[in-house]
Amino acid sequence: MIPLSEPCIRGNEWKYIKQCLDTGWVSSAGSYVTRFEEVVKQYVGTRYAVAVVNGTSALHVSLLGCGVMPGDEVIVPAFTFVAPVNVVEYCGSEPVFIDCEDSSLCVDTDKLADFVKKKTKQKRDGFAYNKDSGRRIKAIIPVHMYGHPANIDAIKEICEPRNIDIIEDATESFGSEYKAKKTGSLGKIGCLSFNGNKIITTGGGGMVLTDDKSIAVKIKHLTIQAKKNTIEYDHDEVGYNYRLTNIQAAMGVAQMEKLEERVKIKRKNALFYRELISSIRDVKLFWEQPWARSNFWLYTIRIPKRHRNSLIKYLLSKNIQARPVWKPINTLPMYKHSQAYKVSKAKVVYETSINIPSSVTLTEEQIRKVCKTIGEFLKR
């Protein structure tokens, strides 16, 4: 089987993890946690970093750190993985869905601007309120889809005058750049994931990034069960057991030593895919915009709607793992009654796109096999 996206463990992982085991520092305390936070924030270019158990927890505490309250609204993409929408619900808030762009698959900034202009009103407190629901719109979570950066400058121009905080979901885009700046450093807060299928992994794991000291302090406090005394079990608010373990952080430090090398490999493989796919009729590889440097986390192709399901089955029958792209979240049963503003493109993308093998370990021979198999299917 040529997998969709498998972890690559070819560095100092065994050595660093063994040090944790040998010294007994295996839980959330330990030098590797701090070391991992340091190397990540230096790479991305933020002042602060807080390591957490996964990308979802990073998004959750980021909303809380920005002051998102029950009854608030948060703008989210309709086309995304479900996590950045679920965390809105964790906070007792409501999602507002915005459509995606055809080109980047990220949030459609034209529709976002249209929504903010026509459907919100700024009150004396400086915040934007939804004219239909009356709720305060406290934040937006732009997702850098499949590693491609969202158009952050356009999002800032729309949201910042209305005091709508930007929380970047950079969980898929570690190593990507927007106008020569690393994703995760572009909003008020950035969130990373180190899940097993990401470009670097700690098995699970995530990171919160920010330049705001007060937010960093607040978020770290929340991730240690809001314990305010190092000796007494004294807690001053509802907290969470969200800190990363030293073992996972040790793996993360080893993986970070290979990150830039892996981004280069992913981009090289993307170019090779693009070259081969260009000769296959009715197939298009989603590509980066001129202002973007994508890490190409998952290679995504567009094909005619009538072929999507059959092509996935055919590839699987040839031991090539392929997956459908995210189903529009506003169509899922728990969110179908939430506000969705002119969402139309997300459905088309879902019906006409699939993810194909994207591992760092892909060989040219495997890429040729994937493209040859796609071509064979379409000739049939």
| DSSP string across 94-132 | EEEEE-B-TTT-SB-HHHHHHHHHHHEEE-TTS-EEETT
User: 248 with 264, same domain?
Assistant: no
- What is the average pLDDT value for the chain, to the nearest integer? 97
In this structure, what CATH number is given to the domain that contains residue 208?
Answer: 3.40.640.10
Taking residues 22-38, report their average pLDDT. 94
For residue 290, give the 3-state DSSP assignment. coil
Q: Is 205:51 a contact under the CB 8 Å cutoff?
A: yes
Which residues constitute the domain of residue 152?
A: 13-256
Last residue of a domain, one of 204, 235, 256: 256
Domain at 363, CATH number: 3.90.1150.10
305 and 211 assigned to the same domain: no
Regarding whether 265 and 249 lie in a shared domain, the answer is: no
Question: Does residue 8 fall inside a structural domain?
Answer: no
Assigned domain for 1 exists: no
Q: Which three-class secondary structure state does DSSP give residue 85?
A: helix
Model confidence pLDDT, tens digit, residues 176-214: 999 999 999 999 999 999 999 999 999 999 999 999 999
The reply to whether 269 and 143 lie within a common domain is no
Q: How does pLDDT run across 131-154, given as a tens digit for each residue?
A: 999 999 999 999 999 999 999 999
Q: Which stretches within the chain are classed as H helix? A: 13-23, 31-44, 55-65, 83-90, 109-119, 152-159, 213-223, 246-256, 259-277, 308-317, 345-352, 364-379
Task: State whether 238 and 158 are in the same domain.
Answer: yes
Sign of CA dihedral 332, 100, 266, 190: negative
Q: E strand or H helix at 139, and its extent?
A: strand 136-140
Q: What is the reported pLDDT for 79?
A: 98
pLDDT of residue 197: 96
Q: What percent of the chain has pLDDT over 90?
A: 97
Residue 57 lies in a domain: yes
Is residue 133 located within the same domain as residue 280? Answer: no
Claim to verify: residue 334 and residue 264 sit in the same structural domain? yes
| 271 lies in the same domain as 306 | yes
Report the largest interatomic distance among the alpha carbons of the chain, rounded to a whole angstrom.
Answer: 70
Q: pLDDT digit string (tens) for 59-75?
A: 999 999 999 999 999 99
Q: Reduced to 3 states, what is the DSSP secondary structure of residue 185?
A: coil
Whether 5 maps to a domain, the answer reads no
Buried/exposed 123-135: b ≥16 CB within 10 Å, e otherwise: eeeebbbbeeeeb
The verdict on 178 and 235 lying in the same domain is yes
Provide φ and ψ at 170, rounded to 5°. Answer: -100, 25
Considering the domain boundaries, does residue 3 fall inside one?
A: no
Averaged pLDDT, 237-262: 97
Asked if 345 and 106 touch (Cβ cutoff 8 Å), the reply is: no
Confidence category of residue 239, pLDDT binned at 50, 70, 90: very high
**Does residue 56 fall inside a structural domain?**
yes
Domain boundary among 202, 221, 256: 256
| Residue 28 pLDDT level (bands cut at 50, 70, 90) | confident
CB contact at 8 A, 84 and 62: no
- Structural domain tally of the chain? 2
What pLDDT band is residue 231 in, cutting at 50, 70 and 90?
confident
Which residues lie across from 94 on neighbouring strands?
Answer: 73
Using an 8 Å Cβ cutoff, are 191 and 54 in contact?
no
Domain assignment present for residue 353? The answer is yes
Which of these three, 202, 230, 256, is where a domain ends? 256
Burial of 113 (0-12, 13-18, 19+ CB in 10 A): middle
Q: Looking at the structure, do residues 213 and 154 belong to the same domain, yes or no?
A: yes
Do 263 and 234 have their domain in common?
Answer: no
Per-residue tokens: 245: 């373990």
The answer to whether residues 245 and 358 belong to one domain is no
Model confidence pLDDT, tens digit, residues 330-339: 999 999 999 9
Instruction: Give domain status of residue 4, yes or no.
Output: no
